[in-house]
């Protein structure tokens, strides 16, 4: 075999074709190297494309989590504004509140179901990976991290998780906590029992509200509510900004909710008595429209996902008409009169509507 190559080399040398052979061999090697380089580049491009797709999927899940956060913070803002206004009335014009409703007004101002809220955004954000060649992605991750740090700070902010000083004070003053509705815990307090608070206790409370002791505790609590509202405003603003950044990064990002249903006493009751959600049909996946046609008894209902209260929507606080309005996260129960209804829930614009058919 060696002799064979020697003969070829000798012949090429004699014919003065060695230079031509070298150029041919060099070209072959160059083509092979270029092919390898292009294959590696294609592989890298495929890996980057796959990683970008995975990043966008996680980002879409995060987008949905932050949408719920922002709705929650908006609800907090309305709730805190209502409480501050209520406390203003108690401080400045306590006689304007009917005496039988004074205990409920005070305990209502102290009620807060937002402190236990934990955002799902932390879960998805842990899977976001930086790409130092992609400045727009890195800036987006930086903004998301800032948002997560802000909402995480609520765990150590004394104004946001402080002990409910008003409730503790009222109980220490021997003002009983309002009685819960025995038939349906979701309906809240039972305000129909005129004997729950004696007339003498109500008169004493009315007079106590004008004392320096009561005024001091209520004013202090009002200041905490104002600080809490400012915190909710900051979280709402930052969350909205992050949503806009994600929308700019992925213009066709979708709002995704699965297994939406309706539950309440107008159907089989809430789950405290074994009720389960009645499924609704998704009629427009792009717009997040869910519909159902049901017979509903006189009672109340709410919407939720996956038979869980983690994602649920109800009526706006203080809403006059319950058959149409904004779908508020953790909102009030929606009051229903008996009848057949066509129900539409819009989880893009967060509205609902009950249209009576008979």
> Is the domain of 235 the same as that of 302?
no
> Is the domain of 113 the same as that of 151?
yes
Give tens-digit pLDDT for 270-280: 887 778 899 99
Task: Compute the C-alpha angle 63/154/146, nearest 5°.
Answer: 45
HSE-CB for 104 with a 13 A CA cutoff: 16
pLDDT at 66: 93
What is the rounded distance in angstroms from the CA atom of residue 270 to the CA atom of residue 302?
Answer: 9
> Is the domain of 243 the same as that of 266?
no
Q: How many residues does the chain have?
A: 358
> Is the domain of 182 the same as that of 227?
yes
Judged on CB neighbours under 10 Å (0-12, 13-18, 19+), 258 is exposed
> Is the domain of 264 the same as that of 245?
no
pLDDT at 158: 46
Give tens-digit pLDDT for 282-338: 999 888 899 999 999 999 999 999 888 888 899 887 665 678 899 988 888 999 999
Which residues, given as ranges, of the chain have pLDDT below 50?
A: 2, 5, 158-162
Decide which of 190, 218, 249 is a domain's last residue.
249
> Is the domain of 269 the same as that of 244?
no
Judged on CB neighbours under 10 Å (0-12, 13-18, 19+), 152 is middle
pLDDT at 154: 61
In-domain check, residue 4: no
328 beta partners: 314
Decide which of 214, 249, 284 is a domain's last residue.
249
Range of the structural domain that residue 300 is part of = 260-356
> Is the domain of 245 the same as that of 271?
no
> Is the domain of 191 the same as that of 241?
yes
> Is the domain of 106 the same as that of 148?
yes
> Is the domain of 76 the same as that of 179?
yes
In-domain check, residue 112: yes
Per-state percent for the chain, helix, strand, coil, to nearest 5: 55, 15, 30
pLDDT at 28: 61
In-domain check, residue 34: no
Judged on CB neighbours under 10 Å (0-12, 13-18, 19+), 6 is exposed
**Pair of tokens at residue 139:** 């800036």
What is the rounded distance in angstroms from the CA atom of residue 178 to the CA atom of residue 165?
Answer: 17
What is the rounded distance in angstroms from the CA atom of residue 253 to the CA atom of residue 255?
Answer: 7
> Is the domain of 242 the same as that of 268?
no
Domain count, the chain: 2
In-domain check, residue 348: yes
pLDDT at 192: 81
Decide which of 194, 217, 249 is a domain's last residue.
249
In-domain check, residue 37: no
In-domain check, residue 130: yes
Q: What is the CATH number of the domain that holds 351?
A: 2.60.40.3620
In-domain check, residue 108: yes
> Is the domain of 276 the same as that of 223?
no
In-domain check, residue 299: yes
């Amino acid at each position: 075999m060696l002799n064979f190559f020697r003969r070829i080399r000798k012949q090429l040398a004699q014919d003065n074709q060695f230079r031509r052979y070298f150029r041919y061999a060099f070209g072959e090697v160059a083509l092979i190297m270029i092919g390898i380089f292009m294959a590696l580049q294609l592989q890298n491009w495929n890996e980057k494309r796959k990683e970008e797709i995975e990043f966008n999927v996680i980002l879409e899940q995060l987008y949905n989590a932050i949408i719920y956060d922002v709705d929650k913070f908006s609800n907090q803002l309305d709730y805190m504004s209502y409480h501050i206004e209520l406390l203003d009335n108690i401080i400045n014009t306590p006689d304007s509140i009917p005496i039988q409703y004074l205990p409920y007004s005070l305990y209502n101002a102290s009620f807060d179901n937002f402190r236990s809220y934990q955002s799902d955004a932390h879960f998805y954000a842990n899977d976001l990976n930086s790409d130092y060649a992609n400045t727009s992605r890195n800036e987006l991750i930086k903004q998301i991290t800032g948002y997560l740090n802000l909402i995480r700070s609520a765990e150590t902010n004394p104004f946001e998780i402080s002990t409910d000083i008003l409730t503790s004070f009222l109980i220490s003053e021997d003002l009983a906590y309002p009685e819960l509705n025995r038939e349906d815990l979701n309906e809240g307090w039972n305000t129909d029992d005129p004997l729950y608070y004696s007339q003498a206790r109500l008169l004493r409370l009315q007079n106590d509200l004008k004392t320096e002791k009561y005024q001091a505790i209520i004013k202090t609590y009002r200041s905490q509510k104002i600080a809490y509202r400012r915190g909710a405003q900051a979280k709402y603003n930052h969350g909205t900004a992050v949503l806009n950044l994600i929308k700019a990064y992925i213009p066709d990002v979708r709002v995704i909710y699965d297994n939406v249903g309706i539950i309440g006493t107008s159907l089989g009751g809430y789950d405290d008595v074994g009720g389960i959600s009645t499924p609704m049909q998704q009629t427009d996946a792009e717009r997040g429209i869910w519909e159902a046609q049901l017979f509903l008894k006189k009672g109340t209902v709410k919407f939720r996902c996956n038979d869980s209260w983690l994602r649920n929507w109800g009526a706006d606080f203080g809403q006059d008409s319950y058959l149409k309005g904004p779908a508020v996260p953790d909102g009030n129960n929606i009051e229903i009169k008996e009848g057949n209804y066509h129900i539409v829930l819009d989880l893009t614009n967060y509205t609902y509507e009950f249209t009576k058919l008979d």
